[in-house]
Structure 1
């Protein structure tokens, strides 16, 4: 038994670079678990800087100096943050307040509609079951209202923290973009000079994750804007709130679209009932989902991620359960990281390939 374990360890962990990779992954997990909240502004700034690299490179292709390109990109970031805080969020907050004020009427109307079911289908549904269902819903709404009240009164320091982040994060993003080459070189100085496996993982992750994250942000923006325009044209209540929900639903592949359909259909049904306007809403919403899945996603992610749908769903469930919203957002990049590590794990074929790459990358000795 010990011989089998020893042979397995020697086969897969005999190289220095493999041990280094395992230690780096463990150190990253420990840092996130222990200092995740403290380093949240730094991590957020890293993510945003990673997203804005494409804009900086595009500006530099227009012959702008590096410092000026970084400054323009940061000004765009500050403008986006200001628009979110002073335009989008106040509208969403007002619509959330209206929705919570109208929820009791919506619940009572839904109850009156569902109470017709026991008369039509007495063998399947009883009036007691309907009453128990809406009692549970009422208790949940009461707990949500109490939680919102507690949040607004007892967690005011969080608002101060958010305001601090809005100042710190753009500053960090500026320096990450301005000195990205120096920071990468400094981090690389702690690693071995010969690191073919780490280089392979870095190249694969840099290409795929950068394309995925930028594409996902673009997809959220396009779907949200298209949904908002469609909901406004149809005269749907809470148009911006629903549009933001539809845009964020693309974060969870296959599941988000199904979940967000419920509030869209519920608000449309409460507003219009079983009318032509309601069916128009559902048709337009279905067209948006079809265009997103069959046109926008292939266009944005044609070469970004190559994962099986089962692997994507498992990644969303696992990483979302561990890290919440950010786990869901980065579920596919993290799954891509695991796939890159599995592909780059040392084998005899990899060793020969890496040796050839290292030999090709070494500078030639000057002729005497």
Structure 2
């Protein structure tokens, strides 16, 4: 289409020059006609260069070519950029530019059809079978209609057709995005319904049993009388059951509203708010009969972010639980150290005389170590599992986050 538009532009200027010669205008009219003809030639020759210079601003280029096409006998030069502009611009501007092209093209068509010979009229040239181009020929309505449709109407039709294709593609993309969004929302609603069901079951069943456990433990503590060991065991059971109920309430809240529990990070603190609470999990394991040799040395423990404190608490808890399951009655060595500027380092080791746990990431790995890896990855830390010298070792490093960071 660009090539055809350039060719018709050049031929239109040549036909206009021939019309001036045939009509043989003299005086001021002839001078004006010669001036218009010269300007038309300059416009026709400069149109390609204008397109190269203004290829990033085709809308304004189209406006300029449209007005030049309306004034000078240069043919439908606006067709050089019209299809691209009709695709890119807003619908109102595209329709206005299409109208300007049709108007300017019609003015050119009528002006060109006034030429009496094929050499002075492209319309007559395409409809003539005469070999002598300087002899007058009759006006052929059917051939002229074909020329009008091809030169003036086709660029508009092609432009709007391409625009419709782009709009259909955009609509399909939007529909696909909306379907994906609707699918995600549907899946989220389904998951939320499942969370509600799980939360209700956990609250009703496990909460009820823990309440009974607290009640019976309190009764045993009262009935223990002068037996200090039984009374202490009953108290420990009651305290741990009560703490389990507190954790259960927090977990039920997280199940019902995950966004509220994950506003700061993907991990939601349940009941641990400070690193100073770390000693409680070590004491609980020692009270449960797990031999632990621990060293805890932390700077600014109370200033640590609750998410970090919660993660450290759960990692230490999982390491000690893992040691109790796989190496019962064996001494567990635990070291926790760090503070602002250096992060937190957790090291745990125990003998592998009973069964060697499989490191996380290897087929058959336990869910506990995988959970530790997930917490460490979320917080941007590192974890290392090794077995050497007959001992199973886990080393975790977490970056510090808190008020003193």
Query: TM-score, normalised to structure 1's length?
Result: 0.23
Greater relative CO, 1 or 2 (CA 8 Å, sep 6+) = 1
Structure showing greater radius of gyration is: 2
Q: Which has the higher strand share?
A: 2
Q: Which has the higher helix share?
A: 1
